[in-house]
């Protein structure tokens, strides 16, 4: 049994962490912080946790967090990097759900996130927490950078073909759609029900913050520079990401289905669907699953990969718990065995 703390327990990823960790067989929740809700019962704010969690929100005090074995940061970008060095010094292992440690280049991070990095010396040490790629490094890590939601779907979709050298890395396209919970739990006109419902729009076309993260991950397996057009869209649903990925094949006649099946064989949270399938976001809602399907329309030179995840689970809190399980030697599926909710 380990003791866990959460910094920033009132956002959508924070409450998702609470939901998953409250019934984790190997975890005792020690601290849940929120400056705005300090002193308030967690179950008063999130009634779904009534009877499952007897904790109050507290201030993010170092002494209380330093008493944990692992601390999750479910905070806005730029918060974790101010506190992580002290926690690591105290022997605490850290999983950051924001973007503070995802990019290895401090100058690139500043370019995309608009602030100077507070501890660039930790960027090299931080392990990128895509378990299906970096499982061995995560097991030994003190600091894990939990991937973003779009990068999770896009990377897991493209990686098998890039590793096999079967698609041109210079002309990749990722057309991705997300539910409005991806924008976070804040008051913003664009995510109000009356604004987002019955509507559909692209955003971040000139450049989205997840673009350098995706390119960095794909570059690790490609022998050539990555050229990626990434266009995210906002859809009128609460949860879910659907990524439609396009790549130009470098050779014909290969069994693409078998390449994906072999790549993800034995992965508990990656489901490669049978030929001709079209995954739906509802098939992963509330679960930590990734579902993938591979198509080669008219047997042409373009391959289409379809990937769906729940942006709050595999795209955030569930992936963080999966990382924790690997770090502490637990069964990788502990606390994450929920079946998707339909309808």
**Stretch 11-20: mean pLDDT, rounded?**
95
The strand order across the sheet containing 2-7 reads 27-33, 2-7, 70-73, 93-96, 143-145, 127-128
d(CA 41, CA 37): 9
When the pLDDT of each residue in the chain is averaged and rounded to a whole number, the result is 96
The answer to whether the CB of 133 falls within 8 A of the CB of 270 is no
Residues 19-61: tens digit of each pLDDT: 999 999 999 999 999 999 999 999 999 999 999 999 999 999 9
Query: What sign for the dihedral angle of Cα 106, 109, 114, 119?
Result: negative
Catalytic (active site) residue 119:
no
Other Cβ atoms within 10 Å of 184 Cβ, number? 12
pTM of the model: 0.97
Residues 183-231: tens digit of each pLDDT: 888 878 988 889 999 999 999 999 999 999 999 999 999 988 999 999 9
212-248 core/surface letters (b: 16 or more CB in 10 A; e: else): bbbbbbbbebbeeebebebebebbebebbbbbbbbbb
Domains of the chain, first to last: 2-125 (3.40.50.720), 150-311 (3.30.360.10)
Q: How far is CA 138 from the centre of its chain?
A: 15
Which residue of the set 68, 119, 149, 194 is catalytic?
Answer: 149
């Amino acid at each position: 049994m380990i003791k866990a703390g959460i910094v920033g327990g009132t956002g959508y990823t924070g409450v998702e962490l609470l939901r998953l960790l409250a019934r984790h067989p190997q975890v005792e929740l020690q601290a849940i912080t929120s400056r705005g809700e300090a002193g308030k019962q967690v179950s008063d704010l999130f009634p779904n946790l009534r009877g499952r969690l007897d904790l109050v929100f507290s201030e993010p005090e170092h002494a209380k967090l330093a008493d944990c074995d692992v601390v999750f940061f479910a905070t806005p970008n730029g918060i974790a990097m101010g506190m992580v060095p002290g926690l690591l010094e105290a022997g605490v292992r850290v999983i950051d759900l924001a973007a503070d440690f995802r990019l290895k280049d401090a100058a690139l991070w500043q370019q995309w996130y608009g602030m100077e990095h507070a501890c660039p010396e930790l960027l090299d040490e931080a392990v990128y927490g895509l378990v299906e790629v970096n499982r061995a490094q995560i097991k030994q890590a003190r600091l894990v950078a939990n991937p973003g939601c779009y990068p999770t779907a896009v990377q897991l979709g493209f990686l098998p073909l890039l590793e096999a050298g079967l698609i041109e890395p210079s002309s990749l396209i990722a057309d991705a759609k997300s539910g409005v919970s991806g924008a976070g739990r804040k008051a913003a006109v664009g995510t109000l029900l009356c604004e987002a419902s019955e509507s559909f729009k692209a955003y971040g076309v000139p450049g989205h913050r997840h673009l350098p993260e995706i390119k960095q991950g794909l570059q690790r397996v490609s022998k050539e520079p990555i050229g990626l057009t990434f266009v995210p869209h906002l859809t009128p649903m609460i949860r879910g990401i659907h990524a439609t990925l396009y790549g130009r094949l470098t050779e014909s006649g290969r069994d693409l289905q078998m390449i994906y099946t072999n790549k993800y064989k034995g992965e508990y949270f990656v489901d490669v669907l049978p030929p001709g399938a079209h995954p739906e976001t509802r098939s992963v809602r509330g679960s930590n699953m990734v579902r993938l399907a591979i198509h080669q329309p008219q047997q042409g030179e373009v391959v289409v990969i379809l990937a769906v995840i729940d942006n709050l689970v595999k795209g955030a809190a569930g992936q963080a718990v999966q990382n924790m399980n690997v770090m502490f030697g637990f069964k990788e599926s502990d606390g994450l065995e929920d079946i998707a909710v339909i309808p």
